[in-house]
A and B are shown apart, each in its own frame.
Chain A
Amino acid sequence: MSAKAAKWIFYLGTLISLVLFLGLTVDTHRQIKTLTHTDKLSEQVVAGKRVWQKYNCNDCHTILGFGSYYAPDMTKVYWRRGSEGIKAVVRTPERFTTWRKMPHLGLTDLELQDLVAFLQWVSEIDTQDWPPQDQKLRAAAGRAVALGVSPGATLFQEKGCFACHRLYGTGGMLGPELTHVGSRRTYETIERILTDPRSVNPQATMPTPPLSHEERDELGRFLAGMK
């Protein structure tokens, strides 16, 4: 190869790649508005992102698959735990961890609200169906929750029940699987558990879920119907 040809490879190779890359960057900026629905990128979401950075969450958790690999990915955590579930874990991590610990970060209630808003916004980014494990969850939970067919099912997601309980094999391992709970427990028993978990089983470690009277009724009817 001549020295001249070598120079041509350098200049052409660099230029082609650079032009393509910058061109697609411009186009990405155009499309990302829809893909990340920037219309929902509220001030609260941005404040939540600052909270996310302030506590260096990303050096244990991945988000969009980036960051550190010490703790679960946060891209779709809103699907998995809902807003109350996320808050519960951040407030009292020792209740949700066994042999790998999460620190007490000491977020204020306002910071926690913002963080949840941020994570909810992130969960709606179009990630080409990544990550696979949460797509499985969504498919399973979708039968009960995602379509919003029942307000009780939405509450199950929103109030963070998935943090400890499983439906269709997905969810947390701390509490019992609830896919067929309706064939084991009556509506009345379930409502008693939701009012005070220890009223049925004095050894129960389940916290009393933050539910209004109407919400308890909706959630109870949803669970009693899971047969």
Chain B
Amino acid sequence: MVLAYPSQRVAYPYFVVALFLFILQVIVGIWLASSYAFTMPQGLVDILPFSTTRAIHTNLLVLWLLLGFMGSTYFMVPEETERDLFSPTLAYVQLALLVGTGVAALTGFVFGWTKGRPLLEIPHPLDYLVVGGALIFLLNIGMTMLRARRWTVTQGSLLGGLVFLAVMYLFNLPFYANLSIDWYYWWWVIHLWVEGAWELVAAALTAWILMKITGVPRETVEKWLYVELGLFLFTGIAGTGHHYYWLGAPKYWLWVGGFFSALEPVPIILMLVDAWHYIQNRRGQLNGRLVFTFATGMAILHLVGAGFWGFAHTLPPINYYTHGSQVTVAHGHIAFFGAYVLLNLMFFYYAMPKLKGLASYDERRGTLAFWWLSLAMLGMTLAFSVAGVLQTYVERVMGLGYMTAQAQMRFWFTILAVLGLTLLAGVVLTVVDLLTLRPAPPAKASA
């Protein structure tokens, strides 16, 4: 028996749905890149405008990452609390509710049913169902932890992050009459998710995996977890100000946002150093080479994407020219990939073999998938960045007009469509591999 607690099994359908949505997200992404590169006929644009497919692309991203987090949480919490889940049935109900809401929302987008706020397009009353799903989830996890009464810092960070995440979503519910205030609170959802709540969840899941695969003692891992969380929140909360430079807010946000967000790479560097340190000081054999590869890749690309690409345009004098250009898109893609896509995949590669009752598995396809995905995404990031620099220079510095700049960028979007197809092949490889894991070949096992 590889599963320590039977209720961990609820994670499996979460992972499967998440992986399926990941494939869909990338397919829609290729369509978006093609819409930039080629001329779509007016008749088609009238029926299926870019705005609709863009809403689908981003909502699929959020949905699959969150389902991945939830599945991972359901897998981790029983082992961490040493107790089965409060209610596995409720976990299935929650999944059905969220997936049903997701399907309704995505279908609705095609027919123009939308709240019309980027990334948060899910309209009333579907957004209340999302809240309902989140509440069921928090209840299930919270009750499991309460009944177990075995509090750890890792659990605290996870639960704290999840509650923080759910609370921030509430700022999406009202209608804001003032556009500036609308965007002010839009960032409470988006920024405080990805640079706050999600980082807490990510730090907890990563700390737990590192404890599992390296055998480094809990006291060490959790001590540094405190420091990381403190730095994430110190830089991340006030760092929200780097979105407030040009939206009609007071000028001091240029200083506050610039200062705190410039420090945002610090906790990510610390995370990388910690991971490296634990792996150097591991006790015995590394328990799962591929999971280690994903963990290292995540730590590095998290730093590259969120850290370096974020820092590159966070200071006001630069952001004045790059704000709202493809530079943002480059940063968005590599940051989400490095921080959260690889986190989910790392966790899936840790948990999937156990869910399938495998003590060890053939890691060759998975290793190939890791490199394929990461290199394709790095290529895409560079293409977006070139397009972004062109846009910044031609449109903003020279003032030659939006479409003149877009014409210069067209070539790079053709490249992006091709790289997107490459990424898709990597995603399919990953999903197929995760769903059909095979036992390690005997020759390799004895070596």
Contacts and interface: CB of A to CB of B under 8 A. Distances in A.
B414 interface: no
A128 interface: yes
Nearest to A122: B179
A215 to B, nearest CB: 27
Given A11-B230, A18-B237, A65-B323, A125 B248 contact: yes
User: Chain A, interface size: which category?
Assistant: 35 or more
A60 B114 CA distance: 14
A69 B323 CA distance: 11
Contacts, number: 216
Interface in A1-57: 1, 3, 6-7, 9-14, 16-18, 20-21, 24-25, 27-29, 31-32, 35-36, 38, 41, 46, 49-50, 52-57
A176 interface: no
A128 B39 CA distance: 35
A99 to B, nearest CB: 4
Interface stretch (A131-139, A149-157, A186-194, A200-208): A131-139
Interface class of chain B by DSSP: helix
B81 interface: no
Nearest to A93: B42
B444 to A, nearest CB: 40
Interface centre among B223, B226, B395 (most CB of A within 10 A): B226
Interface in B243-258: 243-254, 256
Given A17-B260, A128-B251, A69 B118 contact: no
Contact of B50 (A32, A59, A94): A59
Interface residues of B, number: 79
Contacts of B248: 32, 35-36, 64, 125-127
Interface stretch (A100-108, A109-117, A216-224): A100-108
Nearest to A72: B402
B116 A56 contact: yes
A209 B336 CA distance: 48
Contacts of B237: 14, 17-18, 21
A21 B178 contact: no
Contact of B230 (A14, A29, A49, A131): A14
B249 A59 contact: no
Contacts of A101: 39-42, 45
Contacts of B235: 17
Given A53-B116, A62-B324, A130-B320, A35 B227 contact: no
Interface string B183-197: 110100000000000
A31 B224 CA distance: 40
Given A1-B223, A9-B230, A68 B51 contact: yes
Nearest to A139: B399
B383 to A, nearest CB: 14
Interface in B227-245: 227, 229-231, 233-238, 240-241, 243-245
Interface in B159-187: 175, 177-184, 186
A142 to B, nearest CB: 14
Q: Which 3 A-B pairs have the closest CB atoms?
A: A53-B116, A65-B324, A59-B51
Interface of A: 1, 3, 6-7, 9-14, 16-18, 20-21, 24-25, 27-29, 31-32, 35-36, 38, 41, 46, 49-50, 52-60, 62-73, 94, 98-104, 118, 122, 125-133, 136-137, 170, 173
14 contacts: A6-B226, A9-B231, A21-B241, A32-B184, A49-B179, A58-B117, A60-B51, A64-B180, A65-B323, A67-B324, A125-B247, A127-B246, A170-B399, A173-B403
Given A35-B248, A69-B326, 12 more contacts: A13-B234, A17-B234, A59-B116, A66-B183, A68-B54, A101-B41, A127-B248, A130-B246, A132-B396, A133-B395, A133-B399, A173-B403
